Structure 1
Amino acid sequence: MLLQGKAHKFGDDVNTDYIISGKYKFKTLDMRELAKHVMEDLDPDFYQKINAGDFIVAGRNFGCGSSREQAPLAIKYAGISAVLAKSFARIFFRNAINTGLPVVECDTDRIEPEDELVVDLSTGVITNKTKGLTIAAKPLPPVMIKILNDGGLVAHFRKYGGFKFD
């Protein structure tokens, strides 16, 4: 699975309330509406800056905080193709895969805002086209790629009637 887009960079410890503020996630369940407010506490113009396929790039512990699924869903509905970070809060990581949002663990130090990236989820190779370099990432297990390709865990279960590992 190849993904291509522009990097939008944030720091360490981006919690789920920064991803989608509590003032929104309790007012509506409409993910398209929530998507308009993704990351706005850290960058008020974020939604206007992104294009479909772009990436959120961050440091350590991305997605810490609550275990609500609105955070990865809002990112996905905003058109972000994946989140690349040095590490993820474990609940956020699982919620992201379950909702169909790719998450990639890698060293993000050599990625700058606006860099054009190509991410190969199957091999774990990130190509920074702007800088002409490659970055090794932790490849996702085949079952997670299959879940992502199916659109998330619920879609995967509907398709196969349970987990399909091969």
Structure 2
Amino acid sequence: MPDKTPEPEIKPTQRVIKKYPNRRLYDTSTSAYVTLSEVKQLVMDGETVTVRDAKNGDDLTCSILLQVILEEEAGGAPMFSEAALANIIRFYGHAMQGFMGAYLEKNVQMFTEIQAKLAEQSQGLTPEMWSQFMNLQSPMMKALMGNYVEQSQNMFVQMQEQMQKQTEQMLGAFGIKKR
């Protein structure tokens, strides 16, 4: 009988980068200093990156990733409009702040999945095949976008329900009942 030992789970490699007080970033995997653009490239290559303060071990990953985004936004072709950024800022301190983050994360994840499916289907196509592929994309894109819209709509409904519950709880604390 063959051995039924479970295979070890393959985990993505995690790059630990230490940030020193002089603002330099040190990649512990390569034992070399790296720049923000190199951190960006690691992320683009699918590496899991964790940035820690070299002195106290605090997790600085979000801060460094935001710096990468800031550099990209200032680099000429911004992804976010001023209105979009202003609206994101308005959610800080708002009762729905936590839900907004989850909502954005799910939408970006769905968009990435759609992009990956399209890229997978278009590999190795000749110009003629590409033309046929694009003609077939309309129904497929509608189906993919339908799933995206449905999930986005469900997240929005959940956010509304949570906000309603929080409002009722807050009003209940003041002795006010919903009619």
Please indicate the TM-score interval, normalised by the length of the shorter structure: under 0.3
Question: Larger helix proportion, structure 1 or 2?
Answer: 2
Question: Larger strand proportion, structure 1 or 2?
Answer: 1
Q: When the two structures are superposed, what TM-score results if normalisation uses the length of structure 1?
A: 0.28
Which has the higher relative contact order, 1 or 2, with Cα contacts under 8 A spaced 6 or more apart? 1
Q: When the two structures are superposed, what TM-score results if normalisation uses the length of structure 2?
A: 0.26
Higher Cα Rg: structure 1 or 2?
2
